[in-house]
Amino acid sequence: MNARWIKRLISTIAIVSLTSSCEMYRLEELRNTTPQSTPFQIELSQMYRDFATDLEKEYDWENSWHFADKGLMLAYGKDMPPEDPNSWNIPEDILPEMEKARAMLMTVLTPDIMHDSPTRAAEAQFYFDCWVDKQGGWQQDRIDFCRDNLMQTLEGLLLQMQGEEAAAEPLPPEPKPVHKKPKPKPLPKVVKEEAPQAVAKPAEVIKPAPVMKEAHMDTISYVVFFESANAQIAESGNNVISEVIASLKNVSNYEIVLHAGPIDGAAADLPEQRVTAVKKRLTESGVPERVIKTEPTPGIALNRRIDIFLNE
């Protein structure tokens, strides 16, 4: 081994060590930082801190530094979005499932949910990022753990959101009591003499008309949320519409159905205004108006939302 190669090797090791020390300082800084942020940001920051520590023990330096950085930003009060699967080396057969899960995650991460349930909201984002990180490895048990916990947490948050929105809706007036009349007593039967029966002609056999089968269509549902008491689309709602528009790039035959339930009182015209806002956003992005339909939702709908059903 010549002296020049040895010097080059020593220089390389020194540079790597210096870089690692700087990056490891971020994790150490996170461990010793007192968060000055919201409960949601504090919870998520601590989850990223522990995750970065585990990655460090596995010698996964790059991802450890990445999540330490996210944890630091959260501790300092800056929001950090969930990971974008398209920025990672995700297999093509898994990517659509991840993109759909991320859209659902962005739907539930509303200010109300992050305020009322900071721990569950933080768990939802953490488990998604954990799923993205582990998908590039070989540890299937950890991939399943992160994905399954994500889906379970998302389901709970969606039910919580629906419960909160339903509670905000005005209740319908109670129906007036209906006094039922007593049933009349049956009249005594009169026995009549049976007349001779005529010979019945054989019934004409009518062949049923052929039934046209409908073409098979896959339906994907989305939920668009609005700001409270107006027709302004919320940030999470705009993200969902963007997901819908992106999914139509390579689709030629589809139909979009917008569902909006009735609202009683002074805001009775609000559902129609919200449908118009979603329809305008879709058409401005190139969706033909002829494929967009509006159907009412029977009963009282959840407040602050429009349901989109995409039939492909």
CA atoms of 75 and 73, how far apart (whole Å): 5
CA atoms of 84 and 86, how far apart (whole Å): 5
CA atoms of 246 and 237, how far apart (whole Å): 14
Residue 230 DSSP one-character state? S
φ, ψ of residue 260 in degrees (nearest 5): -140, 125
For the chain, domain boundaries: 13-80, 92-168, 219-311
φ, ψ of residue 58 in degrees (nearest 5): -90, 5
CA atoms of 299 and 263, how far apart (whole Å): 9
**Predicted TM-score (pTM) of this structure:** 0.51
Q: Which fold has domain 219-311?
A: 60s Ribosomal Protein L30; Chain: A; (3.30.1330)
Contacts of 271 (CB under 8 A, 6+ apart): 260, 261, 262, 263, 301, 306
CB 216 within 8 A of CB 274: no
Q: Which bin fits 270, alpha (ψ -120 to 50), beta or left (φ > 0)?
A: alpha
Q: Which long-range contacts (CB under 8 A, 24 or more apart) does 52-60 make?
A: 52/27, 53/27, 55/133, 56/24, 56/27
Q: Per residue of the chain (312 residues), what is the pLDDT tens digit?
A: 444 444 444 444 443 343 444 455 677 888 888 887 899 999 999 999 999 999 888 888 888 889 998 998 898 899 999 999 998 989 999 999 999 999 999 999 999 999 999 999 999 999 999 999 988 666 788 899 999 999 999 999 988 888 766 565 555 555 555 555 455 555 555 444 555 555 555 554 444 444 333 434 566 777 777 777 788 888 877 888 888 888 888 888 888 888 776 665 667 788 888 889 999 999 998 899 998 988 776 544 455 677 777 776
Q: Which two tokens stand for residue 189?
A: 């039967």
Q: What is the SS3 assignment for 255? A: strand
Contacts of 123 (CB under 8 A, 6+ apart): 43, 47, 149, 153
Bridge partners for 233 per DSSP: 226
CA atoms of 91 and 16, how far apart (whole Å): 30
Q: Which two tokens stand for residue 173?
A: 């007036």
